[in-house]
Amino acid sequence: MKHSPMPPSLMTALLMAATFVATIANANEPAKAPYRGDPVKGKEIAATVCAACHNPDGNSTQAANPKLAGQHAEYLVKQMKEFKAAESKQPVRVNAVMNGMIAAYNEDQMRDLAAWFGAQTLLGEKARNRDTIEAGQKLYRAGNMAKGLPACAACHGPAGAGIPAQYPRIGGQFAEYIEAQLKAFRDESRANDPNKMMRMVAIKMTDAEIKAVSDYIAGLR
C-alpha cells in the first residue's frame, strides 16, 4: 500500500497539538526555585580560601580587595559567575586574581559563598579628605545636570545600601576600590554592567570627580 503524503494543514494541526500537550506537561512540573545557598557551607570555603584577601567575614582590610560583607547575595553571585571563564572564553569580568580564585567553584558553591558573605555585617571605611567631601556629596546626591550625569543615589540609594538584586551596596567600601572600578567602567576594561548603566555614568566623570565621590562613598552609611 502506498502512503499518501499528509496534507500540510493536518501536519500543522498535529504539531500545534503536540506543542499544546508539551506545554501542559511543563506546567504540571513544580517550578524549580533557584538554590538559595547555604551560609554554613559558604563559611567553610570563605575561611579556608577567600579569607586570605577578604577576611573570613568579608571585611577585607586592604583597599585592593573589596569588602564583601553585607553585599547583596545576588550581586555577589553575578560577579562570581562573571569572573569564571566559560570554556576557552574570556571571562565577562576580567581580573587575573579573581579569575583564578573562582575557577574551582560551581554555581551552587557560589550561592553558598554569597549567602555567607551577604549575611555578615559590614565594617565600613571612612571619608578621609575634608576638602572634597562637599563636592563628593553633591555628585552622589544630585549628579551634575549640566553634563547629564545622574545621581549615584538614584540607583545605589541615599545611604549607599544599593537596591537588591541589581544595584550593589557601595556605602562604606574602600575609596581606592571604588575609584578603580569607576575608572575601569570609564575605559571599559570592566564592562559587565547591565545596559551599560555604569559605563554611561563613568564616561561623564573627570578624575577629580571620581576621587571626590569615591572618598565620600567610603564614609557613607
Q: Please confirm whether the linkage preceding 165 is cis (ω < 30° from 0).
A: yes
Q: Return d(Cα 153, Cα 134) in angstroms, integer.
A: 15
Binding mask 90-129 for ligand HEC (x = CB under 6 A): -----x-xx--x-----------x----------------
From the list 3-11, 14-22, 75-83, 128-136, the region that binds ligand HEC by CB under 6 A is 75-83
Residue found by looking up cell 558553591 in the block = 109
CA distance 81 to 111: 10
Q: Considering the rule CB under 6 A, would residue 133 count as an interface residue with ligand HEC?
A: no
Q: How many CB atoms lie within 10 A of CB 71?
A: 23
CA–CA distance, 20 with 50 (Å, rounded to integer) = 49
Q: Given the complex with ligand HEC, which of 17 and 137 has the nearer CB atom? A: 137
Residue with Cβ nearer ligand HEC (8 or 194): 194
Inter-residue contact 58 to 117 (CB < 8 Å) = yes
**Piece of the chain touching ligand HEC by CB under 6 A; list 4-12, 20-28, 121-129, 197-205:** 197-205
Applying CB under 6 A, does 192 fall inside the site for ligand HEC? yes
Per-residue b or e along 20-50, where b marks 16 or more CB atoms closer than 10 Å to that residue's CB = eeeeeeeeeeeeeeeeebbbebbbebbeeeb
Size of the residue set binding ligand HEC (CB under 6 A)? 40
State the cell numbers at 121: 555585617
18 binds ligand HEC (CB under 6 A): no
Among 38, 41, 44, 53, binds ligand HEC (CB under 6 A): 53
Q: Find the shortest distance in angstroms from Cβ 87 to ligand HEC.
A: 20
Footprint on this chain of ligand HEC (rule: CB under 6 A): 45, 49-50, 52-54, 64-66, 68, 76, 78-80, 95, 97-98, 101, 113, 139, 150, 152, 154-156, 166-168, 170, 178, 180-182, 192-194, 197-198, 201, 213
